[in-house]
Amino acid sequence: MHIHILGVCGTFMAGVARLAAAAGHKVTGSDANVYPPMSDQLRDAGIELTEGYNAEDVAVKPDLWVIGNAIGRGNPLLEEILDRRMPYTSGPQWLSENVLQQRHVLAVAGTHGKTTTSSMLLHILQQAGLKPGWLIGGVPNETHASAGLGEGQCFVIEADEYDTAFFDKRSKFVHYRPMTAVLNNLEYDHADIFENLAAIEKQFHHLVRTIPRSGLVISNARCEALSRVLAMGCWSRREEFNSPAGWSVDDDRVVRRAGEVVGSLAAMPAAGRHNALNAVAAIAAACDVGVDPKRAVEAMASFGGVKRRLEVKGVQAGVTVIDDFAHHPTAIEATIAALREKTGPGRRILAVFEPRSNTMKLGTMKDRLAASLQGADRVFCYKGAGVNWDPAGALLPLGGKASTFTGDIAALAQRVADEAHSGDAVLCMSNGSFGGICGLILERLRSKEQGK
């Protein structure tokens, strides 16, 4: 079958494209912005790309158009497809019908930690020899790819609550029909499509309704929103983590199941309390497909992490520059705390943040921003396009340690490099490319060192 994907360079749709190509389909795709590294990854998989969404591109004449959720009405190519009554579907629906059928789907849902927990679970299953498939909204360092068909029965998927497509406003994850579901946490997010937390809780309830009675729901016991979701109805087996009665991990990283010691995560490279909980959730899910708990814990010692999760991009003039995806106040606070755990109290952390997600651009979380950045020694905030509120005002509680920049990322990079000293860690946080700021800061630091 020939499928053509609209929005093919998005993380999720690129994963769908790679899976389709690996399954033997002819895959082509369109996107408004076709550039490396995603364009290179797709072309390496044999996927031909077209830049833009021109009406005349219907001449491609695939057997099926797969429409990404970034594509809306008014898109010239989409309008032509609709006018000609050509067959189309969504990415999640195609995935459900062509990849996930008859596989044991292990889905990881939640506001935070989906990518990391999915990657941890994938790593455990790979170490156990189960040869799982996967589709993750990031790139695990061991696989160097966001998606793979695998050879075994298991399939690990990051279960996103964002909407499916222009014609299907349900969350993506309702299509996945998991047998094992991790519910990591739940907070208000995606203010562009959800009016309040209750609306997201309803979508999570829809996910729970799809899980068979023989399936397993693994939920964070200390999340009130998830408790409300499960109170709406749960017909499957249940386990909890972050609970003495279920799976737990203490401050020394000792993992217990119902009070019994399973093992220790002390050797796990991923720092932070949040990552210890992510690991416990992944371990619990792996045990549901037959992995021995002790072996699952031991596997975490070799977990190589995920790109853009406290990823060290380089060290220059004694300054370590780190890239991270954190874009929600809870994630920002946890990321800074994890970095502090790694660096120790004697090193400064310079936090460089871009409020780029739709929720942050709308200003929905602005009142929580200062508190989330409090753990940094110096804060730089970049106000990009679409941010119509005043970051400087939001960061007033931080006093003189906060600065705001507008428009010129190069100037921001120079300022950070000027203020950074040997031994500092520069933490860049954004859910976008942030104008390549990590590389720019490293260049400025190199020039600074050479100019001594």
**With the CA atoms of 109, 264, 131 and 310 taken in that order, what torsion angle do they form, in degrees rounded to the nearest 10?**
60
83-91: long-range contacts at Cβ-Cβ below 8 A with a sequence spacing of 24 or more? 84/58, 86/58, 87/63, 88/64, 89/64, 89/65, 90/66, 90/164, 90/165, 90/167, 90/168, 90/175, 91/5, 91/12, 91/13, 91/16, 91/66, 91/67, 91/164, 91/165, 91/172
Encode pLDDT of 427-440 as tens digits: 999 988 888 899 99
Question: Residue 300: its pLDDT value, please?
Answer: 95
Q: What is the CATH number of domain 2-90?
A: 3.40.50.720
Does residue 144 register a pLDDT over 80? no
**What pTM, to 2 d.p., does this model score?**
0.86
Does residue 119 register a pLDDT over 70? yes
Provide the strand spans (E) within 272-377: 311-316, 319-324, 349-353
Confidence tier at 36 by pLDDT (50, 70, 90) = low
Question: Residue 288: its pLDDT value, please?
Answer: 98
- Smallest CA-to-CA distance from 137 within 91, 93, 196, 201 is with 91
- Lowest-confidence range among 20-29, 180-189, 407-416? 407-416
102-302: CATH topology is: UDP-N-acetylmuramoyl-L-alanine:D-glutamate ligase (3.40.1190)
Across the chain, mean pLDDT equals: 91
Does residue 40 register a pLDDT over 80? no
CA–CA dist 251, 414 (Å, integer): 39
Encode pLDDT of 352-361 as tens digits: 999 888 778 8
Does residue 320 register a pLDDT over 80? yes
Question: Residue 364: its pLDDT value, please?
Answer: 83
- CATH 3.90.190.20 domain span(s) along the chain: 311-450
Confidence tier at 35 by pLDDT (50, 70, 90) = low
- CATH 3.40.1190.10 domain span(s) along the chain: 102-302
- CATH 3.40.50.720 domain span(s) along the chain: 2-90
Confidence tier at 404 by pLDDT (50, 70, 90) = confident
What is the mean predicted confidence (pLDDT) over 403-414?
85
- Lowest-confidence range among 13-27, 253-267, 332-346? 332-346
Question: Residue 334: its pLDDT value, please?
Answer: 85
Question: Residue 13: its pLDDT value, please?
Answer: 93
Does residue 326 register a pLDDT over 80? no
311-450: CATH topology is: Protein-Tyrosine Phosphatase; Chain A (3.90.190)
What is the mean predicted confidence (pLDDT) over 82-104?
97
What is the mean predicted confidence (pLDDT) over 161-171?
95
Q: Where are the alpha helices (H) located in 10-112, listed in sequence order? A: 11-22, 38-44, 76-83, 91-95
Question: Residue 37: its pLDDT value, please?
Answer: 65
